[in-house]
Amino acid sequence: MLSHAFPPGCALVEPAPAKINLALAVVGQRADGYHLLDSLVTFTAFGDRIGFSPAAEDRFTLSGRFAGTLGGDGNLVLSARNRLRAALAATGQAAPPVHIHLEKNLPVAAGIGGGSADAAAALRGLLAFWRAGLPQATLDALAIGLGADVPMCLASRPLVARGVGEEIVRLAMPALPVVLANPLVGVSTPAVFQALAEKRNPPLDLPRAAGIDWPALIARLRNDLEPPARRLCGEIAAISDSLAASGAGLVRMSGSGATCFGLYASPGEARAAADGLARRHPDWFIVATTTLCEDDGHGRA
């Protein structure tokens, strides 16, 4: 269903699901400064959306709660469009002018990969809109060139990400009821990595067997970026405490923060918790949603 926020005649809408790092280990650092990760990742039904329509010349428009926090220039959606168009031109494929509309529902610099999700959705959506195709290796190179989180967002389904984010192993995980909570204070990803004292931590201990009790497993894991992010952003403690007090079975920070997620026993409990939190903290971003399973992920990569 197209939202009224999209331009009339919008030919195609691509979801850009929010990312959750259910757990994240920083296991090393490359010579260029980028950190090596081992991260258990999933995506949510809630996210941004991108619409694509035919146009006489390229256009980019924004709507949604967080549209005002982004400038038009330098948007990752435009970088994705430009780089994809160049890659298609190199293979003789047409990439005519397009009106791209971004519905920005996710807070910016929040650790839930909004910009990366948008870049990945732009790649997926434009390939479909232009009825074009690229070898998987070319698409993978385009994705990692746009940002470390873009390959995982291209898949948009439960997975483990390693390397700096370019090594993706898909896995089966059930839908989990979650609440995302963010104090609407942006946290700089480079600053959090810089503030991390120990760069060589043990990898996550992820079992290979079937029949995993996911909430119990996730509870045993950790996010190595949470302690440095808490030092840089005092609001994370309040967000985390409020989620815990709302009945979450587990609370943890996603990515480099400041968004924290709570896991709940049922979607009803997650919704009730989110309603209570939103009443008490009208200045926070609070959303109850469900994580995507392997089959309802949006990734085609």
Catalytically active residues, by annotation: 19, 149
Of these, 23, 40, 50, 77, which contacts ligand ADP (CB under 6 A)? 77
By a kind-dependent CB cut-off of 5 to 8 A, residue 164 interacts, out of ligand SUD, ligand ADP, none, with ligand SUD
8 A C-beta contact, residue 252 and residue 178: no
Nearest CB to ligand ADP, comparing residues 14 and 118: 118
> In angstroms, rounded to a whole number, what is the distance separating the alpha carbons of residues 59 and 36?
37
Binding site, annotated residues for ATP = 107-117
Residue 165 lies near ligand SUD (rule: CB under 6 A): yes
Cβ-based nearer residue to ligand ADP, 164 or 246: 164
Angle subtended at Cα 190 by Cα 15 and Cα 64, rounded to the nearest 5 degrees: 30
Task: Name the segment binding ligand ADP (CB under 6 A); options: 39-47, 103-111, 123-131, 151-159.
Answer: 103-111
Using alpha carbons, select from 168, 188, 169, 163 the residue that is nearest to residue 29: 163
Of 70-78, 86-94, 197-205, 288-296, the window that binds ligand ADP (rule: CB under 6 A) is 70-78
Residue located via tokens 């610099």: 109
Q: How far apart are CA 242 and CA 92, in angstroms?
A: 54
Q: Does 164 bind ligand SUD (CB under 6 A)?
A: yes
Which element (helix H / strand E) includes 285?
Answer: strand 285-290
Residue, CB closest to ligand SUD: 255
CA–CA dist 76, 55 (Å, integer)? 20
* 3-state DSSP assignment of residue 162: strand
Phi, psi for 257 (deg, rounded to 5): 80, 180
The 187-206 contact track toward ligand SUD, x by CB under 6 A, reads: --xx--x-------------
Query: Per CB under 6 A, does 35 bind ligand SUD?
Result: yes
Using CB distances below 5 to 8 A depending on partner kind, what does residue 246 bind out of ligand ADP, ligand SUD, none?
Answer: none
Q: Which of 40, 84, 88, 112 binds ligand ADP (CB under 6 A)?
A: 112
The pair of structure tokens assigned to 272 is: 């009730």
**DSSP secondary structure string for all residues of 7-34:** PTT--EEEEEEEEEEEEEEEEEE-TTSP
Cβ atoms of 37 and 165 within 8 Å: the answer is yes
Site string for ligand SUD, 81-110 (x = CB under 6 A): ------------------------------
Select from 26, 84, 87, 110 the one that contacts ligand ADP (CB under 6 A).
110
Pair of tokens at residue 115: 């910009």
Stretch that binds ligand ADP, among 21-29, 107-115, 214-222, 241-249 (CB under 6 A): 107-115
> Is residue 236 part of the contact set for ligand ADP (CB under 6 A)?
no
Report in angstroms how near the CB of residue 73 gets to ligand SUD at its nearest.
17
Count CB atoms within 10 A of the CB of residue 80: 28
Strand partners, 24: 39, 223
Q: Which residues bind ligand SUD (CB under 6 A)?
A: 21, 24, 34-35, 37, 39, 111, 113, 116, 147-149, 164-165, 189-190, 193, 255-256
